């Protein structure tokens, strides 16, 4: 898969160094992957949440952090939309539903 938005990961790990290894492993996995369906993602990341419009939420470091991506299965592209703490994710989603 082609991964777009790496700068978000780099900026995030500057303030959350404990996530660096997990994100480096995820990035390597994603680049090697050939995800054609959401089931392909769930096979390797069972705790990932598959949402509408090909949005996938990954639980980073045991659910301490959350990462939202959009997957284009046809073009084999993953776009990193957002990454933050679980608390930030919850606040963000509360604001979206208002």
Q: Are 23 and 13 in contact (CB under 8 A)?
A: yes
pLDDT higher than threshold 70 for residue 28: yes
pLDDT higher than threshold 80 for residue 98: no
Q: Write down all domains in the chain, each with its CATH number in brackets.
A: 2-96 (3.30.2310.20)
pLDDT higher than threshold 90 for residue 95: no
Query: Of 77 and 98, which is predicted with more confidence?
Result: 77
pLDDT higher than threshold 90 for residue 37: yes
> What is the pLDDT, as a whole number, of residue 4?
98
When the pLDDT of each residue in the chain is averaged and rounded to a whole number, the result is 95
pLDDT band of residue 63 (cuts 50, 70, 90) is confident
């Amino acid at each position: 898969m082609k991964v777009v938005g790496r700068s978000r990961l780099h900026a995030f790990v500057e303030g959350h160094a404990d996530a660096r290894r997990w994100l480096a492993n995820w990035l390597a996995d994603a680049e090697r992957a050939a995800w054609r369906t959401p089931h392909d993602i769930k096979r390797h990341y069972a705790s990932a949440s598959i949402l509408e419009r090909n949005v996938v939420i990954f639980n980073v470091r045991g659910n301490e952090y959350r990462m939202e991506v959009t997957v284009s299965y046809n073009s084999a592209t993953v776009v990193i939309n957002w990454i933050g703490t679980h608390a930030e994710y919850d606040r963000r989603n509360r604001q979206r539903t208002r």
